[in-house]
Structure 1
Amino acid sequence: MNSQRMPLKNSLCLLLAATIWGIAFVAQSVGMEYVGPFTFNGVRSLIGAAVLVPVLFILNRSGNKSSAATDSAIPESSSAPSEKAVSPTPYNSRDLWLGGIACGFALFAASSFQQFGIQYTTVGKAGFITACYIVIVPIIGIFLKKKCSPFIWAAVVMALVGLYLLCITDGFSIGLGDILVLVCAFLFSLHILVIDYFSPKADGVKLSCIQFLVCGILSMIPALILEHPQISSILTAWLPILYAGVMSCGVAYTLQIVGQKNVNPTVASLILSLESCISVLAGWVLLDQKLSIKELLGCVIMFAAIILAQLPEKEKDNK
């Protein structure tokens, strides 16, 4: 596979996912005023799974119709049964369920840290710190026997400088929210790599539905024990929860799985990292959250690191 050529469809899927996620930072911040972090993630994940059920039903019906049309088009002959018997089945249920459960656990861990972190930091800062996965993904690749050029290390240094300007306050202190979101960035890096492994082996919509179901169940367990959610509070926060459930989960994460299929994870993470820019704009327009000159400089340096981290992709030797 040539990782330098990304199909336009994949690029548009990932770009749309990044846009939805950028705006979702606002929904997550507003929703936290009414419900706890685990409750918010649990309800929105279960909504995301529920939204995909009718999609799966429609896709299965259309698939059955196309299969029936193909079968009816085969002329009756002694060779027809053998042709049907050797029809390819690219996916199997084992990879689907194993991938869905693995993605669900990774998503639960990452989204939990992100949701707690958003309580203590701004939408813009949360978006940019989350985008650190663009540098973390290729670094983890070192342990997966993938080469790491000097461009990557330069990007790491630049990202650390940007993080300092963005997160470190007076007196060399760092906010709790910044630390939590930084842990979330590492966990989302693992989520991207898990999707990279399983997306070519399973149907994207089914994989997405299972991961939301797993994430929703894992989130609701601590929510019921620690937060004691009330239906009235959930209904009060219906708009941000509905956006996060339908758009951020049901639509965007499915677009990520579909868009990442057979695409280099580092290249995909570059497009997905644009959610950081969109989150800053969304926080400024919708919540009037403005960044200082120092914080803006940190954002610029971090985005430069994001771009620099991709340069080695253009210099890979053809095997």
Structure 2
Amino acid sequence: MGSREFKADILLLLTALIWGLAFVAQRLGMDHVGPFTFNGVRFLLGAGALLPLALRSAGQSHPSDFLRSGRGGFFNLWGGLLAGSVLFAGATLQQVGLVYTTAGKAGFITGLYVVIVPMIGMIFRQKATVGDWLGAVAAAVGLYFLSVTEDLTMSFGDVLELVGAVFWAGHVCLIGWLSPRMRATQLACGQYAVCGLLSLATAFFTETVTVQGLSGALYPILYGGLLSVGLAYTLQVVAQRDAKPAHAAILLSLEAVFAALAGWLLLDESMGSRGLFGCTLMMGGMLASQLWPKGTKALEAA
């Protein structure tokens, strides 16, 4: 492994760690503010952190400049609106779900989007691999052991996280379609701004937004906005220029593991043996879905 690949792997591991710890920050933040307020402020912070990079990539100096650039401006505007709206749905379901479930469970259930993406691709006549099917079955069985109780019920929070995973998968597919038509930093900045504005607008109608609440949630919001949204996204983009796809798949999937560990260490959460068995199956399913068969070839070349 070359030094650039090693550095890329370290950055991806750091990205997964930041995202995993974000589930704890999201839970702690809601001790002071509502889920829409939390998401609104943190995504606008993330958009602000990425704005200089977005402007630099476009060679412009004002936020409105790249909205007036012909066909490219069209995709910047409508691409950001579309991606931001889907992101808003996924982020809302995740954040509200965290009111009713643990950070660890939320991390693993959200991670199911990597299994759902190939299933969505089948709608557009993209062929699913054996690994996709194995991953889907393993993830479904794992979800049963993690979230479904012995009397065959599932908590409201876990249901929200599961529906949210579908939107996260749709968001991944949408980004895959928009990315060739837009610069990455512009797309990211635009979608975060739209998601933040939609969240804050909803918060003003459904929640009580106070300076005291925002002050109490300051550190979780700063973590969620500047680190989880702004820094981690940048690290991912930089790292994946040099990282092998198989390495990236494995390392980014560790987000769920870090979420579970952080919930256990910082929030005193526990899953029990049944939940841990479910998590193991889900992690296996996620990896199978991402690494089969291309990951096998990449690993052989490592």
TM-score for the superposition, normalised by structure 1: 0.79
3-state secondary structure, aligned to 1:273:
helix
1:176 matched to 2:159? The reply is: no
Deviation at 1:209, TM superposition (A): 1.3
Corresponding residue for residue 74 of structure 1: none
Q: Secondary structure at the match of 2:293?
A: helix
Structure 1 residues 199 and 256: CA distance shift in structure 2, 3 A = farther
- Partner residue, 2:79: 99
SS at 2:209 equivalent: coil
Cα shift readout 1:149-199 (whole Å, capped 9, x = no counterpart): 333222211111100110012311100000000011111111111222222
* Structure 1, 129-138 or 281-290: larger mean CA deviation: 281-290
Alignment pair present for 1:200 and 2:198: no
The residue that corresponds to 2:300 in the other structure is none
Superposition TM-score, scaled by structure 2 size:
0.84
Cα distance in 2 between the residues matched to 1:10 and 1:144: 32
Displacement of 1:313 in angstroms is 2.9
In structure 2, C-alpha distance between the alignment counterparts of 1:93 and 1:169, rounded to whole Å: 50
Q: Does residue 120 in structure 1 map to residue 100 in structure 2?
A: yes
Deviations, residues 76-99 of structure 1 (Å, cap 9, x unaligned): xxxxxxxxxxxxx9x922222232
Match of 1:17 in 2: 15
Aligned to 2:147: 167
Q: How many Å apart are 1:250 and its aligned residue?
A: 1.6
Contact 2:246 2:296 in 1 (8 A): no
What count of residue pairs does the alignment treat as equivalent?
A: 283
How far has the Cα of 1:315 moved from its partner? 7.7
- Structure 1 vs Structure 2 CA RMSD: 3.0
CA distance in 2 between counterparts of 1:12 and 1:201 reads: 29
- Kindly tell me: are residues 93 and 245 of structure 1, through their superposed partners in 2, closer, same or farther at Cα, counting changes over 3 Å? same
Tell me the equivalent position of 2:294.
313
Once the two structures are superposed, the pairs formed by residues 35-46 of structure 1 within 5 Å of their partners are: 35-46=33-44
Give the share of equivalent positions with the same residue, in percent.
Answer: 43
Partner in structure 2 of residue 52 of structure 1: 50
**Higher Cα Rg, which structure:** 1
Q: Aligned partner of 2:39: which letter?
A: N
In structure 1, distance between residues paired with 2:247 and 2:113: 12
In structure 1, runs of 5+ residues without a counterpart are 1-6, 65-88
Check conservation: 1:138, 1:266, Cα contact below 8 A.
Answer: no
Distance 1:144 1:268, change over 3 A: farther
Distance 1:172 1:204, change over 3 A: same
After superposing the two structures, state which structure 1 stretch, 286-295 or 111-120, moved more.
286-295
Do the aligned partners of residues 258 and 95 (structure 1) sit closer, same or farther apart at CA in structure 2, a change above 3 Å counting?
Answer: farther
Q: CA deviation at 1:103?
A: 1.7
